[in-house]
């Protein structure tokens, strides 16, 4: 076992996602059984007591991979020397709200946390944003952390990616392990574009295997894009365990590499690839290796896909303009 613990910060650690995420991190789901993990947990002051209870439960699991836990309400202390920061803490939406409605309420959190990471995180830090609106929160955080390379920030669209895989597997009667090359383009919002034209089922083109454009347009895309709202409607609160699981999937693949011959979806700052305006944090197909990512190049984008990608990135541009107007970036 490598002796140096990998330091992982989690914000909003006493929340719903935190309650699922922390136990997976502590049990080695990120880097396996041979790498100890130290947890640094950030909460707002009134939630620290609840967080103490969660830490008691973490102790009670006696995880062999958990090298230590620190909690606090001071971002500069909690983020000191962290190798990975999972920014989860933010107010979730309720019924009838869109994720963009959270921009103002949550934007200030990511300004402060970007600054704190800039000041004290480890040189190799990677930052994954789960708190909504995730893409624009990531843009706020990276804009407030000028000394951390922008490519160290990403926002979570892996949950959408996993949802799309699950829907396609059910439709085609295939195991999820047969589905590859899934892509979520754009914003983690109802405008996102889950793309079946480049996905594969058992190595065959998914759109052709499905052979049903009406299902693709009227069923698959809206089911994936509105899954968060459907869960809020059914559960009374937003997805938590699946969001925690996707947060781990995304961070693990970022740090250890995407599967050979496949790719994953991550929202990263656009370099203008696929005519997504440079600077926006938008979801792309990416391959990852050793903590770096690369946008998959050369995919052919037909008119249908083009209009969907453009609609979602137009929404991201509006969100960027709104946070600019609020002085957050």
Ligand X SMILES: NC(=O)C1=CN([C@@H]2O[C@H](COP(=O)(O)OP(=O)(O)OC[C@H]3O[C@@H](n4cnc5c(N)ncnc54)[C@H](O)[C@@H]3O)[C@@H](O)[C@H]2O)C=CC1
Known catalytic residues are 188
The one segment of 3-11, 212-220, 225-233, 315-323 that binds ligand OAA by CB under 6 A: 225-233
Shortest CB 322 distance to ligand X, Å: 17
| Annotated binding-site residue? 261 | no
CB-based burial of residue 132 (10 Å sphere; 0-12 exposed, 13-18 middle, 19+ buried)?
Answer: buried
**CB neighbours of residue 130 within 10 Å:** 28
- The answer to whether 257 and 274 are in contact (CB under 8 A) is no
The DSSP call for residue 216 is: I
Find out whether 148 is annotated in a ligand binding site.
Answer: no
CB 33 to ligand OAA: min, Å: 30
Q: 88 touches which of ligand X, ligand OAA, none (CB within 5 to 8 A by kind)? A: ligand X
145 assigned to a ligand binding site = no
For residue 308, state whether it binds ligand OAA (rule: CB under 6 A): no
Tell me the window of 4-12, 141-149, 179-187, 223-231 that interacts with ligand OAA (CB under 6 A): 223-231
Give one DSSP letter per residue of 36-59, joined into a string.
-EEEEEE--GGGHHHHHHHHHHHH
Residues that bind ligand X (CB under 6 A): 11-12, 14-18, 42-44, 47, 88-90, 92-93, 109, 130-132, 134, 156, 159, 188, 238-240, 243
User: Is 14 labelled as part of a ligand binding site?
Assistant: yes
- The CA distances from residue 278 to 37, 217, 233, 272, in Å, are 35, 28, 35, 4
Residue 320 in contact with ligand OAA, rule: CB under 6 A: no
Q: Which is nearer to ligand OAA, 210 or 229 (CB)?
A: 229
User: To the nearest 5 percent, what fractions of the chain are helix, strand and coil?
Assistant: 45, 20, 35
| Interaction of residue 152 with ligand OAA, rule CB under 6 A | no
As a whole number of angstroms, the distance between CA 200 and CA 194 comes to 13
Integer Cα distance of 301 and 10 in angstroms: 37
Residue with tokens 């969100």: 319
| Residue ranges that bind ligand OAA, judged by CB under 6 A | 92-93, 99, 132, 159, 228-229, 231-232, 238-239, 243
- Residues in the annotated binding site: 12-18, 93, 99, 106, 113, 130-132, 163
């Amino acid at each position: 076992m490598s002796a140096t613990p990998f330091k992982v910060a989690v914000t909003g650690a006493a929340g719903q996602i935190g309650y699922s995420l922390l136990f997976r991190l502590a049990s080695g789901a990120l880097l396996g059984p041979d790498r100890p993990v130290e947890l640094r947990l950030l909460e707002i002051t009134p939630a620290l007591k609840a967080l103490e209870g969660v830490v008691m439960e973490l102790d009670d699991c006696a995880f062999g991979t958990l090298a230590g836990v620190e909690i606090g309400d001071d971002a500069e202390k909690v983020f000191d020397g962290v190798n990975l920061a999972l920014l989860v803490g933010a107010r979730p939406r309720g019924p009838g709200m869109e994720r963009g409605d959270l921009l103002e309420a949550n934007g200030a959190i990511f300004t402060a946390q970007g600054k704190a990471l800039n000041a004290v995180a480890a040189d190799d830090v990677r930052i994954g944003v789960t708190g909504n609106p995730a893409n624009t929160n990531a843009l706020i955080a990276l804009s407030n952390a000028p000394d951390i390379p922008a490519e160290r920030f990403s926002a979570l669209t892996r949950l959408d990616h996993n949802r799309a895989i699950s829907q396609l597997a059910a439709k085609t009667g295939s195991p999820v392990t047969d589905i590859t090359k899934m892509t979520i383009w754009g914003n983690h919002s109802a405008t996102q574009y889950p793309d079946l034209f480049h996905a594969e089922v058992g190595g065959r083109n998914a759109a052709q295997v499905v052979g049903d454009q009406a299902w693709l347009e009227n069923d698959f895309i809206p089911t994936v894009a509105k899954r968060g709202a459907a869960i809020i409607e059914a559960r009374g609160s937003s997805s938590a365990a699946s969001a925690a699981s996707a947060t781990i999937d995304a961070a693990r693949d970022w740090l250890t590499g995407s599967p050979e011959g496949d790719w994953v979806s991550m929202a990263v700052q656009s370099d203008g690839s696929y005519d997504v305006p440079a600077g926006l944090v938008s979801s792309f197909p990416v391959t990852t290796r050793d903590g770096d990512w690369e946008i998959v190049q050369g995919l052919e984008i037909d008119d249908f896909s083009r209009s969907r990608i453009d609609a979602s990135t137009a929404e991201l541009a509006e969100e960027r303009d709104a946070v600019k107007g609020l002085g957050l970036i």
